[in-house]
Structure 1
Amino acid sequence: MSDATPSEEKAATTSLGDLLSEVTRDISTLMQQEVELAKAELKQSASKSAKGLGSLGGAAYSGMMAIFFLSLALWWALSTQIGGGWAGVIVAVIWAVIGLVLYRMGRAQMKEVQGAPQTVATLKEIPETLKRNEENR
């Protein structure tokens, strides 16, 4: 016969209740550590995301300013040919068409969004699974 390992010796000399208590305590400790790890990871991700969003916000503002001044330049260039009032109307109509195109594209893309269909399907299965478990008892 071979010598028993320390785990085997402990299992042979410790009651089942004590072993289950130890396993429960270890699982609880593991879960607490996993939650703390998740919190730390989420905090780090949130910090990086905030910095990235700040940069994107600055880029959006810069882009809007560039569009604004390019629109003024177009208005000014057209006003030398056809007058300031009509040049303003032409620039406004150009922006209205661009806005309409972007609106329609965005609306079409939003209609394609399905959310989280797999998660919804899985969540719908949980009550049925619990019912089957209750029936088998």
Structure 2
Amino acid sequence: MIIALWIVNAILALIFLAAGVMKLARSREALASSGLAWTADASPGTVKAVGAVEVAGAVGLIAPLATGIAPILTPLAAIGLALTMIGAIVLHVRRHERFTVPVVLLVIAAASAALGFAVR
């Protein structure tokens, strides 16, 4: 089961790391013009905060498991990312936008949390 956890967490971490770094590195206007329409209605601080949460979650999926230091943080990071995706789903539903990607990421994050607790 530990191999499954590593695979799920690696995929999830790469996705959230890429998304988070993009939100931290690019301007709100550039993000909005590239397809993240919600960023046009959010403050720059909110966009950067979401990016920081995604990067922190990605690190939290891998670092505790890799180092063996406080491995309970790995499933907790997955729960945090799942909660972030619930927020994303709510945002997209309110904006009448597609929310398929956040739902898929929510399911994967929930699977990561379940695997993380099961491996302990």
Q: Same fold (TM over 0.5)?
A: no
Quick check: which has more Rg, 1 or 2? Answer: 1
TM-score (structure 1 length as normaliser): 0.26
Higher RCO (C-alpha under 8 Å, 6+ residues apart): 2
Greater helix share, structure number:
1
